[in-house]
């Protein structure tokens, strides 16, 4: 085995044998129970009985197999409106749908949608995925594969983020619905502050190929807050 | 006081009674060892205060003369207190908390602290004048080799433990409206004023308790400093807008109020909209012979000993002062039972005691007289006597600037307290661009020209009376609030303070020297003067020549006397002379703060772990790791053993890639190419954008076909290449090099911001995982997994398709994954690049390896791919190109369209290709036996004009390998145009010898393209 980028995780994870779709850091995911998402892949539902306590302090979730999609172009708002999805008022803000999807407005013409943990992404999966299905000048994006979806939870969000990013993400200046497209742990990422199931959370969308790296950085950052990995159930 | 240590049993009982000992918790003791002897102290003690409590006054030896050194400031502001703790050198004894079981020793000793063999160096001072090391040790020729060993033996202070176990240090950001540095009366007042207006305030304090000078000093205009401290602390700690960080050192100021703060094992990177520096000022010493003896301390140090640590600093003291604070110290000493034998006031004379009309001063004189203290005006200490502790002083009358009477009085004492004035803590402010100007009247530096959003308050701003300090802090906070857009309803006015605290010339040179200006570097007053006499007239040059101010205390105590001495010696004003540049860090900073928990991003393809499982030798490619080759099981080398300089390592590599290459040529191989860049262009103008970016023509590229895409820079240099796939009239998927894709994407979006073409550009590099299935059996492998027509006619060379890959599932119907397939021939065999959404990448690898098992499929690595493409004469951007390579040099004229008006870099390409060509990339061949002879050219080896070793260089080798397919060494190199014809001889300098290669036509293999066009 090479010493380059060697990790201490096992190369073979038995449960993954049955999965076609695998996240960039699925080997890091270990838990008592998994749940299948609408994308036909699985995410950790529960790590152990301490999930709720950890999530309240400093939880880390890996949600890459929870559906998400995105669209860019001048007619994207038409598509969103047709699907009764909220349209955030300005770039770098997010809004939640009644069903719990989170609509991210990343620029004047670019919108991403993050699945609701409640329906495991069923509503997002029902949206168009190819250019043939979208209006002219509305181009589906590849964010399900280009970006991993990690999440931080709990009361120490601001302090954790302050260890990872040079952007001020205290809730007073970065309230729920705020988006930062910036650097975290020296990689580019999109960060969204949300409130899910009463829990303060920060969704982090980063380059898929960097997700294993970022997972280790997040896990390192939450240690001092008695945090750790938690499952999707804390959001439902 | 003598140098005999107290026994642990008596050490605690010698402490002063409360309220002395503010920092002590007398309910708990700590015990450790110093120089092997037991030391006992209280919780709250520093190592230094515990040592003093046990009567250890000599802590270490000085840098140059190995003189005995002990406490000077008791505030971690000097280097005299550096000690060694186990494996950690240079620990500040007056800062580091005492703890059980520490093993503390002095440092910079040869032998033991008490019996330092190098202490004799002090007697040879005249042979070591300032800057002697610049003028010695190099003659006669070769002598340096001997001296270097001796000097290295003596160099350095403590002993680093090179086998230490790294500890966890990390970093974090913080953001505040106002950051106040320093929690003295000014700092706390400024913080409260700002916070009361509703802004978020951070209050930083380097010590463990708030209060600054209120914790240890007495004031002539404040009866109860502790009461004021408690009052301020109560308000500060209860204020919900104030965050307090104690034990936190603001170690630098960077632009826009970016403040690195050291706290515990974390480096905080703090951003402040407004910053108020209430950093106080450093008490200054008096320059006289023997002013470094243990027992000679700053007045503030004696006050700290008593008030913070309940240490009685001596039995009989002499105080020398140039201000009122010496009186306050003397009175405090008397109050704690110390006999003050004399208070030597450098000011005034017999008839004009202090040269001041100050009521406060006169009141202090009265109080001192009432306390029975003998006052001596217009006098100074001329020399302190003692070996390892001060035992007596000689006092002489001052006869002029730096001049004293011929005779004086001798007084026995075991403590000398000195205060010649104060130097503002200017370092952070000068880092911010502040300038020092010297006020001759007050004999004091003031700081001017601070940047906007940086403010100062308190004694750092020349305010010394408590009333002025408080008002100055309110003013600074109000100014900051106004800049924050929250002006106070009633803005305070700027305050003036007329109190003079500095004596204008506290420097009394002694013919025998040892009158130290800089304790860190053992620099005496004559050293500074001599430096100027040797031509180093600028204070910056004096610093570099003498090293003054370059020690751990960074000029806190040496800057002011140095400025005075240099000014006098060069007949300039002190303002003209100035002080040396203050640079970060302010205090010695452990490298752990910088090295601790850095971020070192890496990227992994979806198949990364498959390569590790197969035992691949991984190599970096940007932030990615890629498999170079797959050595036989058990032969993977790592670390230094894997160096290509080691024959065994080379053999393993060469054997592996030759085997992999032959396998691809004869059977089928699989390589992970997920790191290739990918950009998706969609929209009516997608083809137009391609046409404007790349050199080739793309408007008429048929759907379902690929086309080679070359990108040139504005200088006409080839900077990237890839394959453009047209999946629809309005959809292109173009690959780019692994490390170049981000720049290509940037270029496209940059230009389209101006062109406003109707096209969407998306970087999809990470969205797709990709492999290249290559070799004559590749079709047989792939046809098991797809319904696409893979026949030569149905899916010809250079075609591209979108389809599905079937994934067999045990006991169930096959599942499918979407895929893009490209028939490309980079390695020169029948092959398919298969791109799938990244979440399916690992499954794709697995299913191909399973489907290929019947055909003995084997993975191959990047090094093998490089050999295979070399056999085909395909270039790799940045390996076979450099910053000058234009399409003509690379033989890529065919990839440059002449029929379109524009592409990126077209004008420069036209210009450079019209110039007479001086070099060309050519293929060359050499006999295989040169490998064994160690004469195989390597990348970078030079191509010469002729076989003469001194001949002109015409180019260099860019790629070279032994090819088992060709049976020879093959390579590509830049050669002079006159050498580029097929058959020409190409002299290449290999490790100093010339080997002559033959220029051959490219490709080396399958010139008819039959293999890839199967």
Cβ-defined contact of A22 to B606 (cutoff 8 Å): yes
Residues of A in contact with B739 (CB under 8 A): none
Cβ-defined contact of B605 to A209 (cutoff 8 Å): yes
Residue B3: pLDDT over 60: no
- The pLDDT of residue B766 is 94
Cβ-defined contact of A2 to B807 (cutoff 8 Å): no
Domain boundary among B377, B392, B419: B419
Number of residue pairs across A and B with CB atoms under 8 Å? 129
Which of B347-361, B464-478, B763-777, B793-807 is predicted with the least confidence, judged by mean pLDDT?
A: B347-361
The mean pLDDT of B512-535, rounded to a whole number, is 95
Closest to A213 (Cβ–Cβ): which among B601, B682, B766? B601
For residue B474, the domain's CATH number is 3.50.50.60
3-state DSSP assignment of residue A150: strand
Query: Do B711 and B647 sit in the same domain of this protein?
Result: yes
Cβ-defined contact of B839 to A73 (cutoff 8 Å): no
The mean pLDDT of B370-381, rounded to a whole number, is 96
Q: Which of A14, A107, A146 to mutate to test the interface with B (most CBs of B within 10 A)?
A: A146
Confidence of residue B559 (pLDDT cuts 50, 70, 90): very high
Q: What's the pLDDT tens digit per position in A165-188?
A: 999 999 999 999 999 999 999 999
Query: Do B149 and B30 sit in the same domain of this protein?
Result: yes
Q: Which of A115, A150, A142 minimizes the C-alpha distance to A40?
A: A115
Evaluate whether B481 touches B199 at the Cβ level (below 8 Å): yes
The verdict on A109 touching B (C-beta cutoff 8 Å) is no
Which of A15-29, B96-110, B321-335, B790-804 is predicted with the least confidence, judged by mean pLDDT?
A: A15-29
Query: Do B654 and B710 sit in the same domain of this protein?
Result: yes
Evaluate whether B962 touches B969 at the Cβ level (below 8 Å): yes
Query: Do B189 and B254 sit in the same domain of this protein?
Result: yes
Residue B255: pLDDT over 50: yes
Q: Which of A11, A20, A109, A157 to mutate to test the interface with B (most CBs of B within 10 A)?
A: A20
Closest to A24 (Cβ–Cβ): which among B173, B604, B807? B604
What is the least distance, in Å, from the CA of A142 to any CA of chain B? Answer: 6
The verdict on A73 touching B (C-beta cutoff 8 Å) is yes
- The pLDDT of residue B353 is 62
The verdict on A182 touching B (C-beta cutoff 8 Å) is no
The verdict on A174 touching B (C-beta cutoff 8 Å) is no
Q: What's the pLDDT tens digit per position in B627-678?
A: 999 999 988 888 888 888 899 999 999 999 999 999 999 999 999 999 999 9
The verdict on A196 touching B (C-beta cutoff 8 Å) is no
Segments forming the whole domain that contains residue B7: 1-161
Query: Do B292 and B305 sit in the same domain of this protein?
Result: yes
Cβ-defined contact of B613 to A142 (cutoff 8 Å): no
Residue B763: pLDDT over 50: yes
- Alpha-carbon distance of B503 to B102, in angstroms, equals 41
Evaluate whether B440 touches B577 at the Cβ level (below 8 Å): no
Is B795 inside a domain boundary?
Answer: no
CB atoms within 10 A of CB B355: 16
Is B402 inside a domain boundary?
Answer: yes
Domain boundary among B109, B141, B161: B161
Residues of B in contact with A166 (CB under 8 A): 173, 269
- The pLDDT of residue A2 is 37
Cβ-defined contact of B612 to A1 (cutoff 8 Å): yes
Closest to A20 (Cβ–Cβ): which among B172, B602, B807? B807
Please name the residue of chain A whose CA is at the shortest distance from the CA of residue B762.
A141
Residues of B in contact with A168 (CB under 8 A): 173, 175, 271
Closest to A162 (Cβ–Cβ): which among B174, B602, B837? B174
Which of B110-124, B174-188, B376-390, B571-585 is predicted with the least confidence, judged by mean pLDDT?
A: B110-124
Residues of B in contact with A137 (CB under 8 A): 683, 758
What's the alpha-carbon Rg for chain B, to the nearest Å? Answer: 39
Question: Average pLDDT of chain B?
Answer: 94
Query: Do B313 and B415 sit in the same domain of this protein?
Result: yes
Closest to A4 (Cβ–Cβ): which among B625, B768, B837? B625
Widest Cα–Cα separation across chain A: 52
Closest to B840 (Cβ–Cβ): which among A20, A73, A185? A20
Q: What's the pLDDT tens digit per position in B711-720?
A: 999 999 999 9
Beta bridge partners of B151: none
Is B886 inside a domain boundary?
Answer: yes
Query: Do B2 and B118 sit in the same domain of this protein?
Result: yes
The verdict on A137 touching B (C-beta cutoff 8 Å) is yes
Domain boundary among B140, B161, B182: B161
For residue B554, the domain's CATH number is 1.10.10.1100
Closest to B599 (Cβ–Cβ): which among A2, A4, A217? A217
* B-contacting residues in A 13-72 (Cβ below 8 Å): 20-24, 27, 41, 64-65, 72
Counting the structural domains of chain B, the total is: 6
Which of B4-13, B568-577, B610-619, B757-766 is predicted with the least confidence, judged by mean pLDDT?
A: B4-13
Angle between helices B325-335 and B359-370 (to 10 degrees): 30
- Alpha-carbon distance of B746 to A80, in angstroms, equals 28
DSSP states of B410-455 as a string?
EEE-SEEEEE-EEEE--HHHHHTT-EEEEETTTTEEEEE-PPTTEE
Cβ-defined contact of A146 to B620 (cutoff 8 Å): no
Residues of B in contact with A144 (CB under 8 A): 837, 839
Tokens of B938: 């390597």
Rounded to 10 degrees, the C-alpha dihedral B1000/B1002/B1007/B1009 comes to 170
Closest to B172 (Cβ–Cβ): which among A5, A142, A162? A162
- The pLDDT of residue B223 is 93
3-state DSSP assignment of residue B466: helix
Cβ-defined contact of A173 to B175 (cutoff 8 Å): yes
Kindly list the structural domains of chain A, giving each domain's residue range(s) and its CATH number in brackets, ordered by start.
Answer: 27-235 (3.30.1360.120)
Closest to B766 (Cβ–Cβ): which among A20, A165, A209? A209
Query: Do B845 and B899 sit in the same domain of this protein?
Result: yes
Cβ-defined contact of A208 to B680 (cutoff 8 Å): no
Query: Do B277 and B201 sit in the same domain of this protein?
Result: yes
Query: Do B232 and B345 sit in the same domain of this protein?
Result: no
Is B993 inside a domain boundary?
Answer: yes
Cβ-defined contact of B603 to A213 (cutoff 8 Å): yes
Residues with Cβ < 8 Å from B947, sequence gap 6 or more?
B985, B987, B994, B996
Q: Which of A69, A68, A85 minimizes the C-alpha distance to A77?
A: A85
Please name the residue of chain B whose CA is at the shortest distance from the CA of residue A137.
B683
Q: What is the pTM of this model?
A: 0.90
What is the least distance, in Å, from the CA of B842 to any CA of chain A? Answer: 8
Closest to A145 (Cβ–Cβ): which among B619, B636, B837? B837
Is B788 inside a domain boundary?
Answer: no
- The pLDDT of residue B1 is 43
Q: Which of A66, A145, A188, A213 to mutate to test the interface with B (most CBs of B within 10 A)?
A: A145
Is B830 inside a domain boundary?
Answer: no
- Long-range CB pairs of B525-533, under 8 A, 24+ apart, other chains included: B525/B287, B525/B561, B525/B565, B526/B130, B527/B129, B527/B130, B528/B130, B528/B561, B528/B562, B528/B565, B528/B566, B528/B569, B529/B565, B529/B569, B530/B129, B530/B130, B531/B130, B531/B131, B532/B565, B532/B566, B532/B569, B532/B570, B533/B569
What is the least distance, in Å, from the CA of A185 to any CA of chain B? Answer: 6
Q: Which of B863, B857, B814, B817 minimizes the C-alpha distance to B840?
A: B817
Cβ-defined contact of B624 to A2 (cutoff 8 Å): no
- The pLDDT of residue B627 is 97
The mean pLDDT of B421-426, rounded to a whole number, is 96
Percent of chain A residues topping a pLDDT of 90:
90
- Alpha-carbon distance of B893 to B902, in angstroms, equals 16
What is the least distance, in Å, from the CA of B187 to any CA of chain A? Answer: 25
Which of B372-376, B384-388, B632-636, B939-943 is predicted with the least confidence, judged by mean pLDDT?
A: B632-636
Q: Which of B625, B630, B835, B839 to mutate to test the interface with A (most CBs of A within 10 A)?
A: B839
Residues with Cβ < 8 Å from B921, sequence gap 6 or more?
B875, B880, B885, B889, B890, B891, B958, B972, B973, B974
Is B554 inside a domain boundary?
Answer: yes
- The pLDDT of residue B721 is 97
- Return phi, psi of residue B690, to 5°: -55, -45
Query: Do B92 and B28 sit in the same domain of this protein?
Result: yes
Q: What is the ipTM of this complex?
A: 0.97
For residue B43, the domain's CATH number is 3.10.20.440
Residues of B in contact with A5 (CB under 8 A): 602, 604, 608, 618, 625
Distances from the Cα of B769 to the Cαs of A70, B666, B807, in angstroms? 20, 26, 16
Is B489 inside a domain boundary?
Answer: no
Residues in chain B, how many?
Answer: 1014
Cβ-defined contact of A208 to B766 (cutoff 8 Å): yes
Query: Do B39 and B90 sit in the same domain of this protein?
Result: yes
Closest to B638 (Cβ–Cβ): which among A3, A21, A213? A3
- The pLDDT of residue B343 is 97
What is the least distance, in Å, from the CA of B261 to any CA of chain A? Answer: 14
Cβ-defined contact of A21 to B840 (cutoff 8 Å): yes
DSSP state of B745: H
CB atoms within 10 A of CB B334: 18
């Amino acid at each position: 085995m090479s010493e380059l980028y060697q990790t201490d995780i096992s190369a073979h994870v038995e449960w993954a044998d049955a999965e076609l779709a695998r996240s960039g850091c699925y080997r890091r995911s270990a838990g008592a129970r998994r749940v299948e998402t609408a994308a036909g892949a699985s995410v950790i539902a529960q790590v152990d009985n301490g999930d709720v306590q950890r999530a309240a302090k400093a939880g880390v979730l890996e949600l890459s197999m929870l559906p998400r999609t995105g669209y860019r172009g001048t007619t994207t708002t038409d598509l969103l409106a047709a699907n009764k999805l909220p349209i955030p008022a300005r770039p770098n803000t997010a809004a939640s749908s009644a069903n719990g999807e989170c609509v991210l407005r990343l620029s004047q013409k670019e919108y991403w949608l993050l699945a609701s943990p409640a329906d495991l992404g069923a509503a997002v999966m029902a949206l168009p995925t190819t250019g043939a299905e979208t209006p002219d000048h509305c181009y589906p994006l590849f964010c399900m594969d280009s970006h991993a979806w990690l999440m931080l939870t709990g009361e120490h969000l601001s302090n954790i983020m302050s260890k990872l990013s040079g952007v001020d993400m205290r809730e007073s200046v970065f309230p729920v619905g705020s988006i930062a497209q910036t650097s975290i742990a020296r990689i580019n990422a999109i960060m969204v502050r949300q409130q899910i199931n009463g829990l303060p959370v920060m969704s982090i969308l980063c380059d898929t190929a960097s997700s294993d790296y970022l997972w280790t950085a997040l896990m390192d950052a939450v240690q001092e807050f008695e945090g750790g990995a938690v499952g999707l159930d804390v959001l439902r | 006081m003598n140098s005999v240590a107290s026994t642990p049993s008596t050490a605690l009982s010698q402490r002063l009674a409360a309220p002395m000992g503010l920092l002590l918790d007398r309910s708990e003791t700590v015990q450790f060892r110093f120089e092997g002897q037991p030391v006992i102290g209280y919780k709250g003690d520093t190592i230094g205060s515990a040592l003093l409590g046990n009567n250890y006054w000599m802590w270490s030896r000085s840098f140059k003369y190995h003189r005995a050194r002990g406490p000077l400031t008791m505030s971690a502001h000097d280097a005299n207190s550096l000690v060694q703790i186990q494996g950690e050198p240079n620990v500040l004894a007056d800062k580091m908390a005492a703890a059980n079981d520490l093993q503390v020793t002095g440092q910079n000793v040869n032998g033991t602290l008490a019996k330092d063999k190098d202490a004799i160096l002090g007697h040879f001072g005249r042979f070591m004048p300032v800057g002697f090391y610049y003028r010695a040790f190099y003659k006669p020729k070769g002598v340096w080799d001997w001296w270097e060993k001796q000097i290295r033996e003596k160099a350095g202070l403590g002993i680093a433990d090179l086998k230490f176990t790294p500890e966890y240090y990390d970093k974090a950001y913080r953001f505040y409206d106002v950051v106040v540095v320093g929690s003295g009366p000014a700092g706390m007042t400024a913080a409260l004023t700002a916070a009361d207006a509703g802004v978020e305030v951070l209050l930083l304090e380097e010590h463990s308790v708030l209060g600054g000078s209120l914790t240890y000093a007495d004031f002539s205009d404040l009866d109860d400093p502790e009461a004021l401290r408690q009052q301020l602390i109560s308000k500060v700690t209860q204020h919900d807008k104030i965050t307090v960080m104690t034990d936190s050192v603001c170690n630098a100021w960077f632009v826009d109020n970016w403040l690195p703060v050291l706290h515990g094992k974390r480096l905080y990177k703090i951003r402040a909209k407004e910053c108020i520096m209430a950093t106080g000022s450093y008490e200054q010493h008096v320059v006289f012979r023997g002013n470094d003896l243990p027992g000679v301390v700053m007045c503030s140090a004696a006050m700290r000993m008593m008030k913070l640590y309940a240490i009685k600093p001596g039995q009989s003291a002499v105080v020398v002062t140039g201000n009122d604070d010496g009186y306050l110290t003397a009175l405090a000493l008397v109050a704690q039972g110390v006999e003050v034998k004399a208070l030597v006031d450098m000011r005034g004379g017999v008839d004009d005691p202090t040269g001041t009309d100050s009521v406060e001063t006169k009141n202090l004189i009265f109080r001192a007289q009432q306390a029975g203290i003998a006052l001596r005006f217009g006098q100074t200490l001329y020399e302190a006597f003692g070996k390892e502790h001060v035992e007596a002083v000689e006092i002489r009358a001052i006869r002029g600037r730096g001049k004293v009477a011929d005779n004086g009085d001798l007084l026995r004492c075991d403590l000398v307290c000195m205060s010649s004035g104060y130097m503002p803590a200017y370092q952070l402010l000068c880092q911010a661009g502040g300038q020092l100007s010297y006020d001759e009247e007050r004999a004091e530096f003031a700081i001017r020209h601070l940047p906007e959003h940086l403010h100062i308050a308190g004694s750092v701003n020349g305010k010394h009376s408590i009333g002025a300090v408080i008002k100055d802090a309110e003013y600074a906070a109000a100014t900051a609030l106004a800049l924050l857009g929250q002006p106070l309803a009633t803005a305070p006015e700027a305050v003036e303070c007329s109190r003079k605290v500095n004596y204008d010339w506290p420097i009394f040179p002694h013919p025998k020297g040892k009158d130290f200006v800089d304790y860190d570097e053992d620099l005496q007053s004559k050293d500074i003067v001599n430096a100027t006499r040797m031509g180093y007239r600028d204070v910056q040059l004096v610093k570099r020549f003498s090293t003054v101010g370059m020690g751990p205390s960074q000029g806190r105590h040496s800057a002011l006397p140095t400025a005075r001495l240099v000014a006098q010696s060069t007949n300039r004003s002190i303002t003209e002379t100035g002080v040396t540049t203050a640079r970060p860090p302010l205090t010695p900073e452990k490298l752990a703060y910088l090295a601790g928990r850095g971020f070192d991003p890496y990227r992994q393809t979806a198949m990364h772990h498959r390569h590790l499982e197969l035992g691949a030798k991984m190599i970096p490619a940007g932030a990615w790791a890629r498999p170079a080759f797959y050595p036989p099981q058990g032969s993977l080398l790592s670390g230094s053993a894997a160096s290509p300089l080691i024959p065994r390592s080379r053999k393993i590599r060469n054997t592996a890639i030759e085997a992999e290459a032959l396998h691809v040529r004869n059977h089928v191989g699989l390589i992970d190419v997920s790191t290739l860049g990918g950009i998706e262009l969609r929209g009516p103008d997608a083809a137009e954008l391609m046409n404007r970016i790349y050199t080739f023509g793309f408007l008429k590229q048929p759907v379902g076909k690929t086309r080679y895409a070359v990108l040139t820079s504005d200088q006409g240099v080839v900077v990237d290449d890839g394959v453009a796939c047209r999946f629809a009239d309005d959809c292109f998927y173009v690959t780019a090099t692994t490390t170049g894709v981000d720049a290509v994407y940037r270029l496209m979006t940059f230009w389209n911001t101006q062109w406003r073409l109707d096209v969407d550009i998306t970087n999809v590099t990470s969205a797709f995982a990709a492999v290249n299935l290559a070799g004559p059996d590749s079709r047989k492998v792939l046809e098991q997994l797809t319904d696409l027509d893979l026949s030569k006619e149905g899916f010809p060379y250079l075609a591209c398709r979108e389809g599905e890959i079937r994934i067999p599932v045990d006991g169930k119907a096959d599942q499918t994954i979407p895929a893009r397939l490209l028939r490309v021939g980079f390695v020169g065999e029948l092959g398919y690049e298969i791109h799938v959404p990244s979440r399916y990448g690992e499954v794709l690898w697995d299913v191909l390896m399973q489907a290929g098992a019947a055909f003995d499929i084997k993975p191959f690595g990047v090094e093998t791919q490089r050999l295979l493409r070399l056999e085909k004469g395909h270039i790799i951007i940045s390996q076979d190109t450099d910053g000058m390579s234009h399409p003509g040099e690379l033989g890529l004229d065919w990839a440059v369209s002449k029929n379109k008006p524009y592409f990126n870099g077209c004008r420069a390409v036209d210009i450079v290709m019209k110039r007479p060509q001086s070099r060309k990339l050519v293929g060359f061949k050499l006999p295989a036996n040169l490998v064994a002879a160690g004469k195989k050219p390597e990348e970078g080896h030079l191509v010469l004009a002729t076989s003469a070793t001194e001949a002109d260089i015409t180019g260099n080798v860019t790629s070279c390998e032994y090819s088992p397919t060709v049976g020879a060494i093959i390579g590509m190199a830049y050669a002079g145009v006159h050498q580029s014809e097929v058959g020409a001889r190409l002299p290449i300098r290999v490790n100093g010898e010339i080997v002559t290669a033959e220029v051959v036509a490219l490709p080396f293999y399958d010139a008819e393209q039959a293999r890839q066009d199967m």
